[in-house]
Amino acid sequence: MDQADRLRNMMGSTGRRTRVIAVASGKGGVGKTNIALNLAICLVRLGQKVIVVDVDIGLANADILLGSQPKIHLGHVLAGEASVLDALAPAPGGVFLLPGSTGMPLVSDLDDEERHFLVSSFQELEEYADILIVDTGAGITRNVIHFATAADEVLVITTPEPTAVTDGYALIKTISREKGFGRIRLVVNQVSGRLEGGRVSERIRMVSRRFLDLEVEDLGHVLADERVKMAVRRKRPFVLEYPQCPASGCLRVLAERLLADGGAQPKSFGQRLAAMGLSSDKSVPGGGG
Ligand SMILES: Nc1ncnc2c1ncn2[C@@H]1O[C@H](COP(=O)(O)OP(=O)(O)O)[C@@H](O)[C@H]1O
Ligand SMILES: [Mg+2]
């Protein structure tokens, strides 16, 4: 049995288009990776097949948060040394992870050909997933913008800190200038309570409405919770390690909200490429599928 067959056995083929959700932020360290992984686990609990792809090319660390040490990662896929299915690994909570390229001296931005190749590779993953969560890097790099626009929806993560809010708004502004971007939804992390979350998200929504003529949606908040830090130190997702902690409750609510409104019809492969400014008839180096 090759890896593709094993995966088909383990995950089953969904036969549906996959909903692609990018997790992004302006400022780094606001909780993207924690939210991506724990949200993925909550979505699995709700019956979804979920793959997390770590495309934080420079500082990939989703695998570290899961306590796993992948032998094959995105770096190998990009180098043409492994297929995307070879790199896919089962992770705690029933999630599958495509690990990023930790510790590889890779340039932080990919070129068009590499991006085309990656999106084509992700297309192969779509057979196995209802939802693909893309954990992007921090900052407003070409990579982040491209993955955010190719996705069906972007979760912009911010904290109440003024710097995170300003950078989050700058990211939204940049995405909104791209052709073919999807829904933009806010998650305010590390809040002291529901009121603070609502205040921060309302401020960003108001500025987006006024200056960008853009309706940004409020997905919700995650409470600041010491258990999140403890789980990080133990290299375990907090929804598994501390299912009863306040942050875990918040993540379950976010997952339920994501499923309650099923999202729009996911983009086709061609639409994803077009959103990245790439054409689908370009030849794919390394043979994406
Ligand atoms: N809800 C939270 N409560 C407390 N600490 C948090 C919370 N979310 C994130 N953190 C802290 O922020 C750090 C960075 O989170 P991480 O998910 O790695 O951010 P990013 O992927 O955006 O760089 C975590 O290691 C943790 O210490
Ligand atoms: Mg991260």
- Give me the residue label for tokens 């609990």: 45
Residue 27: CB within 6 Å of ligand 1?
A: no
**Residue ID of nearest Cα to ligand 1 atom 27:** 229
Q: Is the CB of 23 under 6 A from ligand 1?
A: no
Q: How far is the CA of 173 from the centre of ligand 1 (A)?
A: 24
Residue nearest to atom 9 of ligand 1 (CA): 31
Poorest-confidence range of 103-107, 225-229, 274-278? Answer: 103-107
Where helices occur in 74-152 by DSSP H, the ranges are 74-78, 84-87, 112-125, 142-150
Query: Is residue 31 lining ligand 1, measured as CB closer than 6 Å?
Result: yes
Q: Is the pLDDT of residue 142 over 60?
A: yes
How many Å lie between the centroid of ligand 1 and the Cα of residue 30?
Answer: 6
Q: Which atom of ligand 1 is nearest to the CA of 226?
A: 4
Residue 251 beta carbon below 6 angstroms from any ligand 1 atom = no
Counting every residue written for the chain, the total comes to 289
246-260 helix and 32-45 helix, angle to the nearest 10 degrees: 70
Q: 14-28, 96-110, 120-134, 225-239: lowest mean pLDDT where?
A: 96-110
- The sign of the CA dihedral 19, 117, 99, 84 is positive
What percent of the chain has pLDDT above 70?
89
- The pTM (predicted TM-score) of the whole model is 0.91
Domain ranges, ordered by start, for the chain: 23-275
The bound ligand whose nearest atom lies closest to the alpha carbon of 54 is 2
- Between 93-102, 167-176, 221-230, the lowest mean confidence (pLDDT) is in 93-102
Distance separating alpha carbons of residues 174 and 218, to the nearest angstrom: 18
Q: Which atom of ligand 1 is nearest to the CA of 250?
A: 1
User: How far is Cα 70 from Cα 98, in angstroms, rounded to an integer?
Assistant: 9
How far away, in angstroms, is 29 Cα from ligand 1 center?
6
H-type alpha helices, 177-245: 194-212, 226-233, 238-241
**Which residue's CA is minimally distant from atom 8 of ligand 1?**
31
pLDDT (0 to 100) of residue 59? 64
Indicate whether residue 39 lines ligand 1 (CB < 6 A): no
- Average pLDDT score, the chain: 88
More confident residue, 16 or 134: 134
pLDDT surpassing 80 at residue 19: yes
The answer to whether the CB of 28 is under 6 A from ligand 1 is yes
CATH class, range 23-275: alpha beta
Average pLDDT for residues 180-198, to the nearest whole number? 96
33 lines ligand 1 (CB under 6 A): yes
In the reported structure, the alpha carbon of residue 288 is separated from the centroid of ligand 2 by a whole-number distance in angstroms of 26
pLDDT grade, residue 133 (50/70/90)? Answer: very high
Instruction: Assess contact for 187 and 220: CB atoms under 8 A.
Output: yes
Distance of CA 229 to the CA centre of its chain: 20
For 81, residues 6+ apart whose C-beta sits below 8 A from its C-beta are none
Residue 195 makes CB contacts below 8 A (sequence gap 6+) with none
Confidence grade of residue 217 (pLDDT, cut at 50, 70, 90): very high
Closest ligand, as measured to the CA of 61? 2
Cα of 154 to ligand 1 centre, how many Å? Answer: 18
Give the pLDDT band of residue 267 (cuts 50, 70, 90): confident
Query: Is the minimum distance from the CB of 189 to ligand 1 under 6 angstroms?
Result: yes
List, for residues 149-158, the tens digit of each pLDDT value: 999 999 999 9
Q: What pLDDT score was predicted for residue 131?
A: 95
| DSSP single-letter state for residue 222 | E
Q: 80-115 pLDDT, tens per residue?
A: 899 999 999 999 999 999 988 765 555 467 788 888
Ligand 1 atom closest to Cα of residue 30: 22
